[in-house]
Structures are given as C-alpha cells and as structure tokens.
Amino acid sequence: MSELESITTNRAFGGVQGVYRHQSEATGTPMTFSVFVPEHETGTTLPVLWYLSGLTCTHANVTDKGEYRRACADAGIIFIAPDTSPRGEGVADDDAYDFGQGAGFYVDATEEPWAPHFRMRSYIEDELPALIAAEFPVDMTRQGITGHSMGGHGALTIGLRNAGRFKSISAFAPIVSPLDCPWGEKALGGYLGDDDRSEWRSYDACALIADGARVPELLVDQGDADQFLAEQLKPELLRDACDAAGIDLTLRLQPGYDHSYYFVSTFMADHVRWHAQRLV
C-alpha cells in the first residue's frame, strides 16, 4: 500500500479536517482526497460517509463549500471526499469540461487513451477504502455514500453495485441515467466505446435497478430551478425505476434551487443526519 502524505490539517468543530495525497496503483498517478475526522475517544472507530463530487470538481469543492463538518461532528461521522479523476503530466485530457481530467465519471475506462489512468471505479470501490481502513479510525461495517451531479451518479451506481457494503445511499441532483442523457452518452461512449452499449449498464443507476440491483431505500434532493434538470438529470427516470422495483425512493424537488453548492450546502446537514440514522 502506498505511503500517505499529509498536505494540510486544520482543527474544525473539535475534529480535524485533513487533505492527503498518495500514489495510486489503480490510476498510476498521485491522488488527493480530504477526510474530516470528528473528535472521538482514543481507540474507538466511527462510521464513514463517502462524498463523490461532480464535473470539473476536485476534493476541494465540497471541502471548502459543502458545510458538512458541524453535522458530521454532531453525528460522529467521518467524511471522505476523493478527487473526480486522475490528473497530471502524461494523463490524457480533453478541452471540454465534461470529459477527461475532472470528469472521470467513476468508470474503469477500456478505450485508449483513457484506459491506462481513468480507473476511478477501481480506485473508489477498492483501493481508497483499503487505504482509509488502514490509516483512519473507521468502522467499515458502517458506510454510507452520497454525491453531487456526476458524483451523484457515482454514489448511486457504486452503492447499487455494492449494496452489502453501504447501509445508506443518497444523492444531490444526480445523473440518474447516463444511457439517456448527453453527458452520459459522451462519457460512456468515450471511456467504454460504442460497440457494445450493454457494457454501459453497470454505470447507469436506472439500468442497474432494472437488471436486479436492490437496496431498501434512496434519498435524492433535486432543485427545481436546476439548469440541467430536463436534459441531463431526469430524476423521473429514477422514480419510475424505483417504483417498478419496490425501492423506497424519497425524491424531494426543492423549489428555487439550482445546481450549485448553494443548493448542496443547504441540504448537506440533512443528508448527514439521514445517513447517521442508518449507520448506527
């Protein structure tokens, strides 16, 4: 396992907000992530909430603007925010904001030039959890996952594929069906290829549910003034999939809210508390 480098640590709400870096075997690049560890008794372990960020973001967006620390301190939950893609010299990129670095879509790419480094599924599902378990006081039997936009897509799909691992799954304005929106078609086509779209289904929350993935419940908040609502996000598709599968979906359309961190930060504490109730 790679050595963990501490970049910054700051006292916050009695706990410690840290930013860390390590050399990833999955991506073949340095990867940076943030971890908030609430104050706790020595020797105890705490539940963990994973947060996956959206297009163009790094770990810093939610760390700086997510307003989660007070709620996590009150609930005794460790909050982990990875980056959204590999980065650096020699890593393939694209001029568009919705593809390449900053837009890893939480897939393991199979197409060139993306396949050597764009392995965010393996990084988030396997490598980073092993590192976190070794370095932080986490109880890995009590994990929840959430995310925003592209990260909401990541949270839903990773949660559905690993239903036995996560006790709670939520999302903010998620891309619920990449098979049915321009962002998803571009990303999955570019990273996985267009020859066999059946390979895309494991990266689509609605398709996973249609194919048999089951969890007891999901929580989704969506702003009704979100500029991407109709074309890219389509939460009604998730509602239909959950209704057909008997999954208890709480889908809350929040009046007047857009796609920004003003929206995410408004409902972040509510999501943390929701997860806390299920991570006991």
Residues marked as catalytic:
149, 226, 259
Which residue type, as a one-letter code, is found at position 75? Answer: A
Quote the CA–CA distance of 18 and 136 in Å, as a whole number.
11
Quote the CA–CA distance of 211 and 21 in Å, as a whole number.
37
Tokens 């599968």 sit on residue: 245
> Which of 169, 177, 127, 172 has its CA nearest to residue 262?
172
